[in-house]
């Protein structure tokens, strides 16, 4: 059994962008853990603010929604409540992530890409996720547990990929778990306008997936996908 | 059984840069076919010219050496004798490659990267290899055989990788077949100075491979590797 | 009255990728002229080949379809029948384009981007379009008409934008002419699977357009768009 | 009436690099507001230090000069006095900028580009300007005023553009207000060596502007310009 | 004594962009040879065409002017008269360049950069210059003379450097020979508007040169420069 | 006499990556000063941690080893003991570096490149080294000594160069001092596995150095090298 660790700036990011990968992992029997650095309470809860909710209420709503989504995906979820808009980088927060890495011992890590001119919280989360990964590898770093290996890191797709210098390295076939991803998305009713957008995106990535796989693989018409970038080179014994 | 197609500008390129991948394929029972567009008779046979050999003799020497190397790797080899230094692009040559694609129906394609300020034959070979691959996919292209699928393309490592904008996407573990690669290299006695260079490179890529794989994988101390770049996104059902 | 010139490798490209810009131009009363270097008879007519049509029939079908699409957009169309898959660059073809430039005297030029690892005809068309534009500017180039000005060039969106290094510089609001674009797309019944793909893309670019325009502009919910890249810097008297 | 917001690291930056854009805005009747994060008292006041002035005196000189330049341009100016060399990024400073954004509600934002190996204060200013813009858009961010729209951001030209990865996206014709820019520059007598440099640069950008506009536009011989980069895609209804 | 080889697309290019480097070489006693692939008779002789000159007359004018400029610089000049706008690449032309390389045995090579969206002749010249350099290195290439060494290649500055991805790697101090460069420029009276432009550019590069050299070097106020890019890494025994 | 300043994140970095350049400088009679921001006590001392050493012991071991290496190279060394893994950037640390710059008045600066996905301490060190260099140039910066000139900055080679976007600009011939570099490396017995790796790298860079220098320079078979990138353009009076 392997583990998947997802480090997300706000409560909803892991759903839109990585729910397929998470559902595939749990469907295989792997452990999946999502860490939300913040609830997205200020930056991604416009509807609730317009309805007059206060900060504590909004955090609670977001927490409940994200927990439901994680449940739908069969994933654990932890909220660090670090405060968003802005998510401020700190050594304390990085240290908390080091401890998560040591505890989870992930085989794969997912996080945001390092460039996003629309949302500085996303690269901030990614920088901390990457620094914590390297620190967790050092036997000299003072935290419980064994030194980490070198799990590959994949960046999930941002909202406007081209503007974030996001060029897909990997097209992940999520057809077999797409119903689960839909259910997870529907756990976030406040952002209903995102459902259609990310269903369309999954189809679009599915079309490209089929094109890059070639007709000979016989992928079905309704193939859907998620796109990722690799930070480190792939290590393998087979080119394919 | 899958097929591996290697398209190489000169007679030696496939040995230094891709012999590991070829040996892994044939060891798995896959078919491997090498196409040498030229013998490298003018650009990569300085020793023979200095010894006073003539063009026909040099081509014959190179042909014999490359054939021996391919034999060592368990691969088929075909020479198109298109003339090197310069390798001139032509539609006729592309058409010959289309026919090779249609006949081999490769599951994977290896060729040179598209930039090389030290040797314009290499990008010329790559451009023709890529164009032929796309043409072979079209049912409307007039050549025998079925339209090609969409085999992934990997660029093998050039002599001065950084100057060729070569950033490894894939580190291939060739430890299990490294003796075979050595034998193949030793089939090219005229370029003996390259043996040590490429053995050192294999070790270097092996060190990086272990570092990117992480200590937990338990790769042995003598791990050796080859580096590749992908042209198209990887299609997969598992992130790893 | 200004003129728009669209230079397209195959008969269908201008429809999927630039029909909105064309319809906006003709709706403003501008002249729009489309030049199709080929019919896309080999590379983009898989359905007809599978149905057993021959080359002449397929060219005729594509010609009729593209002409209908141009009619729907209010644009002129000219076919150079240069042969696709591969579209071979030649000085004769460039010279024909120079003559088109001199005759049309375009205020704006649209063509393919310069990188496309899925279809080498597209960059070939773009290189010829760009070279002809520069030649047409020279008084010393021997062709009828006055030397061209310096019309801006926009690259329209390729099928897999990220893999073609396509990063949108301009999001064009095509909401007011989207019905016309649909009609033009429906003139190409052989590629029906593309209709939905490009409708979804228009919505996606519309969402991004609204996000980049900001809520204050009051763009409607159903805003749709097309994405373009500029080759040359914008010249203006107002930053906006 | 629209508003232009210019966020500048030091007291002089907005003059050399954006005075033309500011003068064009105020000439159109728009509001223009300049925010100087520092006076440039340590890093850009070498002459005054050599003359033996103290810190308070230098700040006062720079304040007076920059105020005169802003007056010449018809712009408001505000000094945050955050301390230069180094300009230290802080959440307090970003919050002050959020409040400026909310108050000014700019239609367009100008700031430094994100790379400058000669002056780290410039990218620091740009990062804060960009973060504040995003925070000001969030209804959940606790600051007076309405959430901001999505004003486009333009980077003005650094002193050594190529070394700062500055590739002009926009050439702005400032011919009609160039006398005003000269007057503003002459408000900074301590940096007299810069006058000629930026007059020459304006001519150079003017030559390029004419070349990119084409001869048909009939721009006059003495056309002068300023160069800008866009951070976000342009949103428009007309390609030109 | 070393040799400098300059390969220029049109008759005037070497003057505006590299006259300083040429004059420095000849002032040191080095041999300098300029090869003009064309006279620039179609693309860069607008004035003569407007005056009604014919092709033969224009070539003769350009030849005389460029010869005068070369004389002023103490350089040899050779015209290949390959025809411009477009300069068509051919193996024959490359072969002629190989012979020049073998004869001159240059210690340094200057040519155009590989990207220029304003003039496709420039990259075409550069590609041929680079291919000929590599071919001339091969003992197996059939041309008179000894195989070439590996002379460094510098790209000189294009007219709109940023749009050509030109980022200066080297700032060359041409102060000591600037009068000679002026004289060479004045040998081209038909392009008088270029004189001031390139004098201003020399000053601009001079200001940057002083800034990058630092005040401690004591460079004079009137320092002027030319900018170059390196294609290959610098080989040296001293970092400076 | 000139001075060389090397700013290194950890105690060993300057040895593996820049010992050749340091030895060349001291062999010429120049002063060389190494500043180690940390001892590398947590991140690069795995062996000592596994042996059960404590933090103070490890720092002492690393200090002694690095001092021995500096002695072998004839260089001064200073340890700032800022704490590694993570090396936290602070204005206090930058200020200490400013004082070092002012005291050493270096003619050349060496440090890490700005990108390293395997070790965030390296870019952190580089950012501080670069900021301190700029601050030290300002007469208004309050620190003892004269304002600094503009010493060139070279980035030394990281462990996995391609992944760090490291493209060599300079190949430094260190053949004459390679024995000294070996001695310095052997002063770090805890990282014995690095000796061979960096000897192989020196050979590899030597092969490339010979290839880029050309056969005519007559470099010996055993040429070894180090690779560097320049941050700023080279200023020179001779192209070579």
pLDDT tens, F7-52?
999 999 999 999 999 999 999 999 999 999 999 999 999 999 999 9
pLDDT digits (tens, 9 = 90+) for D200-231: 999 999 999 999 998 767 899 899 999 999 99
User: Number of residue pairs across A and C with CB atoms under 8 Å?
Assistant: 35
List the single best residue of B53, B86, B160 to mutate versus E (max E Cβ within 10 A). B86
| Contact flag B140-C85 (C-beta cutoff 8 Å) | yes
- Residue E237 within any structural domain of the chain: no
Q: C211: which chain A residues are within 8 Å (Cβ-Cβ)?
A: 118, 159-160
| Mean per-residue pLDDT, B25-44 | 97
- Mean pLDDT score across all residues of chain C: 96
pLDDT digits (tens, 9 = 90+) for D126-173: 999 999 999 999 999 999 999 999 999 999 999 999 999 999 999 999
Closest CB from D94, D140, D233 relative to A42? D140
The pLDDT of residue D216 is 67
Other CB atoms within 10 Å distance of the CB of residue F90? 11
Residue B216's pLDDT band, with cuts at 50, 70 and 90, is: low
Tokens representing E130 are: 């680079």
Looking up tokens 């353009």, which residue turns up?
A: F233
pLDDT digits (tens, 9 = 90+) for A149-206: 999 999 999 999 999 999 999 999 999 999 999 999 999 988 888 999 999 999 999 9
How far away is chain F from the Cα of E121, in angstroms, using its nearest Cα? Answer: 25
| Contact flag A85-D233 (C-beta cutoff 8 Å) | no
The share of chain A scoring above pLDDT 90, in percent, equals 94
Q: Which residues contact F92 (CB under 8 A, 6 or more apart)?
A: none
Closest CB from D24, D148, D234 relative to C237? D24
Per-residue pLDDT for A214 more than 90? no
- Residue D223 within any structural domain of the chain: yes
Which residue of chain B comes nearest to E92, CA vs CA?
Answer: B86
* A211, C70, D212, E154: CA torsion to nearest 10: 30
Q: F140: which chain D residues are within 8 Å (Cβ-Cβ)?
A: 41-43, 45-46, 49, 55, 58, 85
- Residue B80 within any structural domain of the chain: yes
Cis peptide bond N-terminal to C108, omega within 30: no
Domains of chain E: total: 1
Residue F96's pLDDT band, with cuts at 50, 70 and 90, is: very high
| Contact flag F237-E24 (C-beta cutoff 8 Å) | yes
Alpha helix positions (H), chain E: 13-27, 46-50, 55-73, 91-104, 121-136, 178-186, 192-213
- φ, ψ of residue E178 to 5 degrees: the values are -70, -35
Closest CB from B43, B88, B119 relative to E140? B43
Residue F162's pLDDT band, with cuts at 50, 70 and 90, is: very high
Q: B207: which chain F residues are within 8 Å (Cβ-Cβ)?
A: 197
| Mean per-residue pLDDT, C101-105 | 98
Other CB atoms within 10 Å distance of the CB of residue E189? 12
Report the alpha-carbon distance of residue D106 to residue D101 in Å, rounded.
7
Per-residue pLDDT for B217 more than 80? no
- φ, ψ of residue C126 to 5 degrees: the values are -65, -40
The pLDDT of residue E192 is 86
A92 three-class SS: helix
Alpha helix positions (H), D9-112: 13-27, 46-50, 55-73, 91-104
- Residue D163 within any structural domain of the chain: yes
| Contact flag C208-A166 (C-beta cutoff 8 Å) | no
Write down how long chain E is: 240
pLDDT digits (tens, 9 = 90+) for A43-62: 999 999 999 999 999 999 99
| Contact flag A117-D140 (C-beta cutoff 8 Å) | no
The pLDDT of residue F218 is 82
Write down how long chain F is: 240
Please give the C-alpha separations between residue F117 and each of A129, B18, B77, F37, F194, in angstroms, as whole numbers.
12, 27, 40, 19, 19
E26 three-class SS: helix
List the single best residue of E98, E124, E134 to mutate versus B (max B Cβ within 10 A). E134
Other CB atoms within 10 Å distance of the CB of residue C159? 21
Report the alpha-carbon distance of residue E43 to residue D135 in Å, rounded.
52
- With touching defined as 3 or more inter-chain CB pairs under 8 Å, the answer for chains A and D is yes
How far away is chain A from the Cα of D140, in angstroms, using its nearest Cα? Answer: 4
Residue F216's pLDDT band, with cuts at 50, 70 and 90, is: low
Per-residue pLDDT for B197 more than 90? yes
Please give the C-alpha separations between residue E78 and each of D188, E5, E39, in angstroms, as whole numbers.
51, 11, 11
Closest CB from A167, A197, A203 relative to C163? A167
pLDDT digits (tens, 9 = 90+) for B116-136: 999 999 999 999 999 999 999
- Residue F238 within any structural domain of the chain: no
The pLDDT of residue A191 is 84
* F87, F88, F94, F97: CA torsion to nearest 10: -20
pLDDT digits (tens, 9 = 90+) for A134-144: 999 999 999 99
| Mean per-residue pLDDT, C124-149 | 97
* CB E151 within 8 Å of CB E107: yes
C187 three-class SS: coil
Residue A34's pLDDT band, with cuts at 50, 70 and 90, is: very high
The pLDDT of residue C218 is 82
Q: F122: which chain A residues are within 8 Å (Cβ-Cβ)?
A: none
The share of chain A scoring above pLDDT 70, in percent, equals 100
List the CATH number of the domain containing C126.
3.40.50.10320
pLDDT digits (tens, 9 = 90+) for C45-94: 999 999 999 999 999 999 999 999 999 999 999 999 999 999 999 999 99
- Mean pLDDT score across all residues of chain D: 96
Residue C12 domain boundaries: 3-230
pLDDT digits (tens, 9 = 90+) for A76-100: 999 999 999 999 999 999 999 999 9
List the single best residue of C166, C196, C200, C225 to mutate versus A (max A Cβ within 10 A). C200
Tokens representing F233 are: 């353009």
Closest CA to C181 of C213, C225, C221, C222: C225
Per-residue pLDDT for B78 more than 90? yes
The pLDDT of residue B193 is 84
User: Using a CB cutoff of 8 Å and minimum separation of 24, what contacts does F197-205 make?
Assistant: F197/B204, F197/B207, F198/F16, F200/B200, F200/B203, F200/B204, F201/B204, F201/F157, F202/F20, F202/F174, F202/F178, F202/F226, F203/B200, F204/B197, F204/B200, F204/B201, F204/B204, F205/F157, F205/F168, F205/F171
* ipTM for the complex shown: 0.95
pLDDT digits (tens, 9 = 90+) for C174-228: 999 999 999 999 999 888 889 999 999 999 999 999 999 987 678 998 999 999 9
Report the alpha-carbon distance of residue B137 to residue B151 in Å, rounded.
10
Which regions of chain E are under pLDDT 50? none
**Per-residue H/E/C for D166-210:** CCCCEEEECHHHHHHHHHHHHCCHHHHHHHHHHHHHHHHHHHHHH
The pLDDT of residue A177 is 98
- Residue E108 within any structural domain of the chain: yes
Looking up tokens 């893309």, which residue turns up?
A: C201
The pLDDT of residue E216 is 67
The pLDDT of residue A216 is 67
The pLDDT of residue D217 is 72
- Residue D144 within any structural domain of the chain: yes
**Helical pair A91-104 and A121-136, crossing angle rounded to 10 deg:** 60
- Residue C239 within any structural domain of the chain: no
Q: Would the CA dihedral through C72, C75, C80, C84 be positive or negative? A: negative
């Amino acid at each position: 059994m392997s583990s998947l660790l997802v480090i997300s700036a706000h409560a909803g990011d892991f759903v839109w962008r990585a729910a397929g990968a998470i559902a595939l992992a749990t469907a295989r029997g792997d452990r999946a853990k999502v860490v939300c650095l913040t609830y997205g309470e200020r930056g991604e809860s416009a509807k609730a603010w317009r309805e007059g909710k206060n900060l504590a209420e909004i955090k609670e709503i977001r927490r409940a929604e994200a927990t439901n989504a994680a449940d739908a995906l069969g994933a654990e979820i932890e909220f660090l409540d670090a405060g968003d808009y802005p998510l401020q980088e700190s050594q304390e927060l990085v240290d908390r992530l080091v401890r998560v890495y040591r505890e989870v011992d992930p085989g794969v890590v997912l996080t945001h890409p390092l460039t996003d001119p629309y949302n500085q919280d996303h690269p901030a989360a990614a920088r901390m996720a990457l620094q914590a990964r390297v620190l967790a590898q050092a036997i000299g770093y003072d935290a419980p547990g064994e030194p980490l290996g070198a799990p590959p890191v994949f960046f999930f797709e941002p909202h406007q990929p081209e503007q974030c210098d996001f060029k897909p390295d990997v097209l992940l076939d999520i057809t077999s778990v797409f119903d689960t991803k839909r259910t997870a998305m529907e756990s976030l009713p406040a952002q209903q306008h995102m459902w259609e957008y990310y269903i369309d995106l999954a189809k679009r990535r599915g079309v490209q997936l089929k094109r890059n796989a070639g007709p000979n693989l016989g992928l079905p018409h309704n193939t859907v996908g998620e796109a990722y970038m690799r930070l480190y080179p792939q290590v393998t014994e087979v080119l394919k």
